[in-house]
Structure 1
């Protein structure tokens, strides 16, 4: 149908153009002055034909804006101008009249020299080349193209949504986006923390290297990790040996080299690329990851991808032994790490290996506070009101989830105001030290006394050794 209409319009353009050309030539014909001053009625001046004065400039417009192609023509006279779509020869306008039924298309002109094609609210399907034609005897035409820029759009069914893995597993996050030009993908953590990535680098082992490097097999997981491979521990490297199969020392021949893939961990603020691979995931990597797609055509778009890491509970406490005064309130605190979130509760003492669960009451107050929606940390506290002697016991904070159970024990003892901050073990050590000091003092005092008696005895012996001859001499010689 378009072809029939176009043929009809072309014939119409040629007929009207030819008639106007003849009239123009006749009106242009005139007498030419000869050398003798007479006029020759049979001479005519050649009429100028239309010419394109410049090329149509290609335009690039964002989706939804207006695109304008300008066709500048000199000496149009009574010829006609038409606009067509180049790829399918669809007629859009004939001179000042819009032929297409597309309400977004219009034409304007400036003093019959500049003819503009307007396409409002540009769609992606409007991208392409358009033809400006002049209905001369030999059709003249030139092309101008429209490039439509499309803002990015994330394809949900080809991108990762919420994902849950166990601690130590590998995981791959994917984000696919469309747009013109092709969007750039950037990954960031929503909490602003850095992303731990690994950058593998391959190195070849020289012939005659350690045969043990060949004792590994390569098996790729769905996330692109390498498992069941021989590893070498270094400070910051994770080494995975890649091979085609299991090798034995006697199968290693001279001239055959093995390939070692070395993966170096690195922390980055942002990771560029559609696919984000995380290896040996830890609980610290649990966060919401933001996939941001941009191509300089506003607006940029983003998708939130929560990463959940499951692991059994871990319970810790900064206090193991607590002293309390009678009649005071005692507050005990434990810190719990777990995902999925654990069931937390307190127990008092042991009776034949049976715990006594503590419930909130006038005697006990129980509180818990989780560190944010994506945090795996919880603080749980127990307050014992009006502490009495019968409250002396071990208090145990317990956490349990689907992966396991953990607990921590805090011992409370009664103390006086003077030794409130000193636990029993410290008091015992002080008493033992005092006893050792007293024993040492007694030994020192006893040593001084014995030394003094010995000196007196030695002096007594010396005295009698000197005096005895004088006493004995008169007795012998009398």
Structure 2
């Protein structure tokens, strides 16, 4: 049969009968540890304080949570926190069958143990980037211990770039490789209870703006027309971001024919009123924004 122990996590629950989330002398504090165990019925836990075994007592109550509510979870309730209770608490998960190495989780309880706080550095939102780049969305998390941060989309019910609805981050940074335009939007970072305080989540928002070069049509068109006749070529913008500064340039071979800027129109035209021998060839129209350029090509023969 398969045996496995993985994903050791912990959380600290401050005294539920008081409004503030801090740990204080004279109050109750609860430490919970959770692991994924197969087979779950062979899971046993033991608790230690500063390396010495703990037994359940009136002031230090060790319990196991009902597996239907929270599987693989053990709790240590310190009923009336004293200064001498500060220290490192360790819960060790083992499987009775043996053969699998134990998981041991350390939790420090001290006067500097404080609930988390989240902020987004001002220069980090909105974050402007170009399609194809690698970027980092940043949430600064403080608190001791520092909890795992969960990232999700705040503006719509869509999956994160990695395909999951939520992405875990241990340092508060969400790294996205090869950014695409669909990733434009608002992202939420929030504290999870894991490896931190089991309190109401703190959250913050980061806005991501992805710029991409113009998509144009036609990308290639062949035009056959006799000498002396006229032709008009038109290059149209389908999509681009940003659109506020769109410029165009028409070229024949390497020669610049005309440049200009888009106002409200979404296309630019170039007319040759009378074709002569040297007006045949490849005409290119480049439409340019901050993120790059799109090109329409016309082969006039």
Higher RCO structure, 1 or 2 (CA under 8 Å, sep 6+): 2
Which of the pair is proportionally richer in strand? 2
Q: Which has the larger radius of gyration?
A: 1
